Structure formats: structure tokens, C-alpha cells
Amino acid sequence: MRIHGGARIGVLFAWLIAFGLTGVTAAWADETCNSPYIAKLIKGQEDYVYVWALGVDGVGDGSDKLVTVDVNPKSKTYGKVLGSASVGGRGEAHHMGFTDDRRFLWAGGLSDSKIYVFDIGTDPGKPKLVQTIVDLTERTGYVGPHTYYALPGRMLVQTLSNAKDKGGVTGMALYNNKGEFIAAYPMPTDGGGDGYGYDLAVNPKKNVLLTSSFAGYANYMRPLGEVVNDPEAMKRFGNTMVLWDLKALKPKKIFAVPGAPLEIRWSPKAGDNWAVAATALTSKIWLVKQDGSGEWQAKDVATIGDPAKIPLPVDISITRDGKGLWVNTFMDGTTRYFDLSTPAAPKQTYAKVTGKQVNMISQSWDGKRVYITSSLLANWDKGGADNEQFLRGFAWDGRELKQVFEVDFTKEQLGRAHHMKLGSRALRSS
Amino acid sequence: MRRGPRALAAILVTVLAAPAAAHEAPPPGPASPLTARPSLSAIRAAPDLVLRDVGGRRVGLADLRGRIVLVSFVYTRCTAACPLLAARLARLQQRIASLPSPSRPALLSISVDPERDSAADLRRYAARFGADGSTWRFLRDDPARVRATLLAWDEGTRPAPGGELDHPARVYLVDRAGTIREIYALAFFDDRQAWLDIQALLREP
């Protein structure tokens, strides 16, 4: 496995320890960041935010759960929890993804490798757990299902690790919408590939799939302090992005992208054919696009904050016109906005501290509403008073983020707030 | 002059349904988005369907075993997705015509709107897109039978504003053994790639 920037990462974590801080990695969300195969986007006012929350021992029932929050300002219960669907266990809840028809929401656990399927079509205000998929590891040898990406009639699942050594070499698993396993696709380990995985995103017009890379179970389930004190563990972070032929599901090109490239966002604007990703450990924005000869290239185009101060970008959200990018940095609890009008030269135009620790960020289709959650990973969240757990809603007028509501997940006995997806009453399927 | 959505759709259809310049898709080159050797994993067994064509004859998917079949879902009042889809299927039908008869795939387009789509409506719709009636057939039946078919194919359909129907509008590529091998989303359904996919299936023993 080829490692880029390992020494640099070691220095970064030494700094983290010195200041008693914790953190790294991420999430993805958003109405502007859904699979392009999902036709039913919410382009008006969303009614709900679904939050996939990690269970915490002694908090509520202690189980992972899907929490439904009313976010329609015209509702009498605006900003309140409408209900939750517990899965009856704790498996490091992390990310979610809609099926292509947006009738079901798949959500998974990074430690138990279970995939939960919630029916959100029958009653969007009251999701119901209808299926649990438990054969991922048996079928593929992979563990840690992370990204759930809708393809027509199918779900492509990017995993983080493997059952053999719990390292970062992993792959993708393809299921049909009934939850039946179809095929596995290993991440490339030759030609410069490190075999790691994290996020995936497709561009059907260009027939390409992009993947990024993070770390395996042995790192993400281990207390962060132990990881950063283990030089060998610190070498085991992803340093690549891979461009795949989407139809063939075969790697075409491997890019060296040092420092754990995480969320991938293709510009949603029609005619745009470029994507961005942020690296957690090196605090960079990377641009992936074709050059003048049609060859795909990846280039570091911007720095997020001051890397020496370890901002740790953990989630990004692109605007529907591809001209703006929200970036959440976990360590400093800051939400930043980058002007992407020139994708090859993003410029930060706004920043605000939105929490003591912030992780995921989602925005409505029109960009006027922004939602932020707090949790990174159970063993990596901050401690004590800094361990805020929340969903916060903000209004964005192009100049200022104004908080309009908050759900305190600890006070409400819900756990750690992680991934978000938006819902609407209008998407009732029958 | 103001034109209604159906008139605009008809104009669009006329343009889009123009004959393909050639039956053969261009070979994929370095910058081509097409894939000559696609991954066509077995997605699931195709649910059987038995519906009537515009002539009242029963057509069963099981009866087509041994032929590749493309199954699509449309309705004639659809002003957006369906005419685009039908135009692409029309081009695909022309390519398929270049194949010898025994290996020629079948195209089945099922009306998701049996209450409003009469056999005559479907016959006119098929004629508008040049469906030849043998390779490409349009099917309908009584609503209960169609509903059961939509359920089996996971094609949930519900009323939408303006008399439209909200439906996934997927296109299913079924191999000669009756297994779904590809599912296309309308927005990205490319008849050139579908033709390459069909050729890939035809190369299988």
C-alpha cells in the first residue's frame, strides 16, 4: 500500500493530543447531494429532517434510532421531535441513503455492519423499520457499510473495512431494492490504489463513478487517543480517489489525494461535469474534472482554514447551482462557505462557529435553510461540556447564518446526532 | 401562438423520434461515455407478467423466454418522461431490426394508466413512435391486473397534479433466461448503451 503524507498526519495528530482535542472523518447529506437517479427532490419547503442517531448507553433506550424532526416553520410542532424508530441495538449508526424511488431509507452501522431499511413512503412523518439486511460481511468479507447510493432499482454500498484484518482495504456491495445481494466490487490495490473506501458519487452523463478513502474498523472504532499514539495506525488512512467506469464498474484511474479524502460532490448544475472533495487530515479542497484533452485530473485547489490549527473538515454541501460550498470543520466547530464560481479557485467568503463540535451539514434545495449535527464517531467525539449533541437549523440569506431552532439530543434522550436526510409529506407513496 | 403541453410534447416527439442515422452505435473511444463491456449482474428474477396487447391478445413474459426483453412503463397522457423514453425506444427498435429474427429482442411498453389509456389510445401512441407491433408491443389490461403487475415490478404509481401520474419510469433489461440484468433510469437512458448491453447479452452462451 502506498502512503502519502504519513509523517505529516502524525504531526497533525501529535498536535491534536497536545491540545487535548479529538476528531476526524465525516458524513454526507443533503437535498443537493442526493444520487442523480433520485428524481423526487424536495424543491420547496421540506417538512422533516430525519436524523440517524447513535445510541448512547444510559441515554433513552441506548439504541441507534432514526429521529424525525418537524422543520416546517408553518407547523405547530416546528423544531420539535415528532418521533423516533429504534433499531433495538447499538452498532455505530452512521450514514443513510434513499432508494431511487425515495420510498425507503437505508441506514447502516459501522460496527455491526447491519443495514436497516426504513419505509418513509407510507407515512413520511412516521418512518417504520421494515427490513434488516445482515448478510453484508458473509457475502463480501467487507464490514462498515458507509455510503448508500441509489442506482435504478439498486443500492450501491461503499464500505470502510474488511472482516479479515479490520484494516482499510475494502470494496463496494451492490444490492437490489428488495435487499438481496447482487455483487461485490473490491477497491483497487494495484496501479497506485490503496484499496481504501469512504464515499462514492456518480456522474451518469460521463459514465463515471468517483470513490474516496478513509480508514478501517481498527482505526474508526478505536479511541482516537490510542490511534494517534500508534504510529502504525496513523499510516492506515486513505490517500486516494478512484475514477471508475460506471457501466463496467471497473477502475479507470487512481488519483493520489493525500490525507483522507471524504465526501464527494458532483456539481448539480446541468452541464457541469466536475466534482469536489475535502481531505480531513490535510484540510484541502480537491477538484476532479477533465482537462482539455478529456483526461480526468484531480487537483488541490484550496485550503480550508489554517491547517496548522487543525480545522478538520468533515462534511461538505454543494449548492444546487454549483457555485457555493459549505464546509464543516469539526475541531473548531466552524461552518465555512466557499465561493465556487471558479471551481479551480474556491474562495472562503464566510465563517461562523456553529457549535463546540460540528459534523454534518445539509441544505435545502434553494439553499435558504441549513441543518447541522454534532457527532463524528462515538469514540471520537469530544468529551465533557464540549460533547454537545444536537440538530441545529439555520436560515441563510446569503450573508449570515441565523440559528432558528435546536434539538438537544442529550436532553431529549436520543443519543448522538449524525447523518441527516430531508423528508416531505408530499412524497407519500400511496 | 400558445401551445398546450400535449401539442408541445407532440412536437418534441416528432423531433426525437427521427430515424437514427445508423443502426450501429459508434464504437466507444477514449472519451466516449459508452461501455462496450458493461457489468450486467443478475439483479433479480423478472416477475412474470401477462397482459393484453392493443389487439386484445395475451402477452406473457414467460412466453418470451429465450429472447431478450426490454420492459418499460408509460402512459399516453404523459407529457414529459414517456415521450422521451418512447423516442429512444424507437431508435433502439431500428437497431434491433438489423438483427436476425431469432435473436431479435422484444420491447414491451406497459400502460400504467389503464383507466384512461384505451386500446385505441395505445394503438395511436404506438403508431406515433413507429412501433412495429411485433418487436415492440404496447400492453394494457384491466386495472386490477395492471396494479398487480406494477406491484410485482416495484413500479409504484400515484396521481400527480395536472392529471399526470408519478411513476419511477424505469426500463428493465431481461435476459433470455428471464433475469433482470440492467435497470435504466429514464433520465439517463441512452439507446446507444442499451444496444451495447443487448449485444453483450447476445454474446453470452
Name beta bridge partners: A151. A154
* pLDDT value for B8: 40
Q: Least CB-CB distance to B184: which of A152, A248, A249?
A: A152
Task: Name beta bridge partners: B180.
Answer: B44, B174
Which one of A247, A249, A291, A295 makes the best mutation probe of the B interface by having the most chain B beta carbons within 10 Å?
A247
How confident is the model over A89-99, as a mean pLDDT? 97
Of A329, A308, A324, nearest to A16 (Cα)? A308
Phi, psi of A88 (to 5 degrees): 75, 25
Is residue A187 a contact partner of residue A139, using CB atoms and an 8 Å limit?
Answer: no
Whether the per-residue pLDDT at A3 is higher than 60: the answer is no
Q: Are strands A154-162 and A142-151 parallel, antiparallel or unpaired?
A: antiparallel
For B194, the closest chain A residue by CA position comes to A247
- Which chain B residues are Cβ-neighbours of A430 within 8 angstroms? 156, 158
Percent of chain A topping pLDDT 90: 88
Confidence of residue B79 (pLDDT cuts 50, 70, 90): confident
Burial degree of A190 (CB within 10 A; 0-12, 13-18, 19+): exposed
Testing the interface with B: which of A180, A185, A207 to mutate, by most B Cβ within 10 A?
A207
pLDDT score for A256: 98
CATH code, B41-203? 3.40.30.10
Q: What number is the average pLDDT over the span A88-116?
A: 97
Is there a contact between B44 and A248 if contact means CB atoms under 8 Å apart? no
pLDDT tens, B110-156? 999 999 999 999 999 999 999 999 999 999 999 999 999 999 999 98
| Cβ(A22)–Cβ(A380) below 8 Å | yes
Say if residue A22's pLDDT is above 60.
Answer: no
Contacts of B172 in chain A (CB under 8 A): 153
Whether A16 shows a pLDDT value over 60: the answer reads no
Return the bridge partners of A66, or none.
A52, A85
Q: What is the mean pLDDT of residues A12-23?
A: 36
B158, B172, B183 member nearest A430 (Cβ): B158
- Annotate B49-82 with b (16+ C-beta within 10 A) or e (fewer): bebebbeeeebebeebeebbbbbbbbbbbbbebb
Would you say residue A15 has pLDDT above 60?
Answer: no
pLDDT at B4 over 90: no
pLDDT at position A18, please?
35
At residue A196, the pLDDT reads 98
Residue in A328, A337, A357 with CA at minimum distance from that of residue A397: A337
Q: What are phi and psi of A77, to 5 degrees?
A: -110, 25
What are the residues of chain B with a beta carbon less than 8 Å away from any beta carbon of chain A?
Answer: 30-31, 33-35, 37-39, 41-44, 154, 156, 158, 166, 168, 170, 172, 180, 183-185, 187-188, 193
pLDDT at B20 over 60: no
Cα–Cα separations (whole angstroms), residue A321 to A46, A200, A262, A340, A345:
19, 20, 21, 10, 16
Cβ–Cβ of B156/A430 closer than 8 Å?
yes
- Which ipTM score applies to this complex? 0.91
Asked whether the predicted pLDDT for residue B29 surpasses 60, the reply is no
CA distance B171 to chain A (A): 9
Task: Determine whether the interchain pair A103/B34 forms a contact, defined as Cβ–Cβ distance below 8 Å.
Answer: no
Query: Are B39 and A247 in contact (CB < 8 Å)?
Result: yes
pLDDT at A170: 98
**Which chain B residues are Cβ-neighbours of A39 within 8 angstroms?**
168, 185, 187
User: Which of B156, B183, B188 lies nearest to residue A153, judging by beta carbons?
Assistant: B183
- Averaged pLDDT of chain B: 86
> Cβ A174–B37 below 8 Å, yes or no?
no
Q: What pLDDT was estimated at residue B27? A: 45
Examine the pLDDT at A409 and tell me if it is beyond 80: yes
pLDDT of residue B16: 37
Please give the mean pLDDT across all residues of chain A. 92
For the cut 90, the answer to whether the pLDDT of residue A235 exceeds it is yes
**Does position B19 have pLDDT exceeding 90, yes or no?**
no
Q: Determine the pLDDT at residue A225.
A: 82
Rounded to the nearest angstrom, the gap between the alpha carbon of residue A82 and the centroid of all alpha carbons in its chain is 24
Mutate to test the interface with A, among B35, B43, B181, B199 (most CBs of A within 10 A): B43
The DSSP secondary-structure symbol of A188 reads: P
**Residues A108-128, mean pLDDT to the nearest whole number:** 98
**Does residue B7 have a pLDDT over 90?**
no
pLDDT one-digit tens code per residue, A33-77: 899 999 889 999 999 999 999 999 999 999 999 999 999 999 999
State which H helix or E strand residue B191 sits in. Answer: helix B191-203
Q: Say which amino acid occupies A422.
A: L
pLDDT of residue A281: 93
> CA of A28, closest CA in chain B: separation in Å?
23
* pLDDT (average), residues B161-167: 86
Mind telling me how many Å the CA of A172 is from chain B's nearest CA?
14
What is the rounded distance in angstroms from the CA atom of residue B28 to the CA atom of residue A46? 42
Which range among A211-220, A302-311, A316-325, B18-27 shows the weakest confidence by mean pLDDT?
B18-27
Q: How far is A151 from chain B (nearest CA, A)?
A: 8
The answer to whether the CB of A241 falls within 8 A of the CB of A277 is yes
Q: Which residue of A has its CA nearest to B32?
A: A206
SS3 content of chain A, % helix, strand, coil (to 5): 10, 40, 50
Residue ranges covered by each domain of chain B: 41-203
Q: Which among A36, A294, A429 is the nearest to B156, CB-wise?
A: A429
pLDDT average, residue stretch A297-301 = 98
Amino acid sitting at position A31: E
Question: Is B25 within 8 Å of B94 (Cβ atoms)?
Answer: no
**How confident is residue B32, by pLDDT bands cut at 50, 70 and 90?**
low
**Yes or no, beta carbons of A153 and B38 under 8 Å apart:** no
Beta bridge partners of A380: none
Domains and CATH numbers, chain A: 6-427 (2.130.10.10)
Is A309 or A236 the better-scoring residue by pLDDT? A236
Amino acid, single-letter form, for residue A58? G
Within 10 A of A270 (CB to CB), how many other CB atoms are there?
A: 8
Q: pLDDT category, B17, cuts 50, 70, 90?
A: very low
For residue B34, the chain A residues in CB contact (below 8 A) are: 207, 247
pLDDT at A174 over 90: yes
Nearest to A152 among B30, B31, B185 (CB): B185
Q: How far is B39 from chain A (nearest CA, A)?
A: 4
